[in-house]
């Protein structure tokens, strides 16, 4: 349990007609400001591009993953350095890009639809995301996961959610290979932050593109999470919770297999069923 990721608190536990004082742990939530340094050496510019509420920890991965999923950087080689400002303020991260990188300044204005409350939906949202995905298309698509393997994945991810064990208040996501091995797992109070942390870690570890892996989400599958998966080249997304309508549309239009309500030995396939192997399959309309 990380000391910066949880907050201890004395609470009153009530059970029918009894109450006791007990120590509890809450998931920490603090703002993280991401600052970007870019431009030629003789004319460097620093710009604050985002403030997000996150669980402290893996902040550098979060910043790099955010820059990638926003289309600002294409690979980790474009990052010259990443550090906390002045080495002291852990709630401000500065990412310095290499001098030779030419930025499209419009991408710094956050033209992406990354919240469910923004009021923008439909085909225009999907088209806007697709214009910035610069990963090469896979030459062949042989990715397959069996239903039996998929059933096991939530528990494997759950075993890695150490902060969730103490707080019960974090979203998690995991990256699995075709053998069902968990390669990376990240947690955060924000589901989009958890995924940015995971994508940032994968980028730093040279795992890209991620078209050979399955992404598991501990909660629901929203449009913003499918957008980020698409940017990273992920071809299978499985969620313990429900997908939104726009998430399904984005996945279908982007040739992503989308699974929802993965619980026990059950799940729903919303699109891309060709990547899921099922031992006995009977087509039936209920």
Residues known to be catalytic: 118
Q: At what angle do helices 223-231 and 191-204 cross, to 10 degrees?
A: 10
d(CA 204, CA 202): 5
Tokens 């969730």 correspond to 164
d(CA 108, CA 40): 17
Own/partner contacts of 254-257, CB < 8 Å, gap of 24 or more, are 254/126, 254/130, 254/226, 254/230, 256/226, 256/229, 256/230
């Amino acid at each position: 349990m990380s000391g910066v990721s949880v907050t201890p608190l004395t609470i009153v536990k009530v059970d029918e007609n009894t109450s006791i004082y007990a120590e509890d742990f809450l998931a920490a939530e603090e703002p993280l400001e991401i600052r970007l340094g870019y431009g030629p050496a003789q004319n460097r510019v620093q710009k604050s591009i985002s403030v997000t509420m996150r669980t402290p920890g893996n902040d550098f991965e979060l910043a790099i993953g955010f820059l990638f999923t926003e289309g600002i950087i294409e690979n980790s080689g474009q990052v010259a350095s990443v550090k906390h400002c002045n080495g002291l303020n852990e709630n401000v991260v500065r990412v310095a890009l290499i001098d030779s990188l030419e930025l499209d300044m419009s991408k710094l204005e956050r033209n992406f639809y990354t919240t469910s409350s923004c009021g923008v939906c439909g085909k225009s949202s999907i088209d806007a995301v697709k214009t910035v995905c610069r990963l090469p298309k896979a030459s062949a698509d042989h990715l397959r996961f069996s239903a039996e393997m998929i059933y096991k994945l939530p528990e494997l991810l759950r075993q890695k959610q150490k902060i969730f064990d103490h707080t019960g208040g974090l979203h998690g996501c995991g990256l699995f290979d075709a053998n069902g091995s968990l390669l990376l797992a990240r947690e955060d109070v924000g589901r989009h932050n958890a995924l940015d942390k995971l994508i940032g870690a994968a980028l730093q570890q040279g795992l890209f593109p991620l078209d050979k892996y399955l992404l598991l989400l501990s909660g629901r599958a929203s449009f913003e999470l499918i957008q980020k998966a698409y940017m990273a080249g992920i071809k299978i997304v499985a969620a313990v919770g429900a997908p939104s309508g726009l998430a399904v549309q984005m996945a279908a239009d982007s040739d992503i297999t989308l699974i929802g309500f993965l619980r026990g030995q059950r799940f729903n396939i919303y699109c891309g069923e060709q990547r899921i192997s099922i031992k006995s399959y009977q087509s039936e309309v209920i």
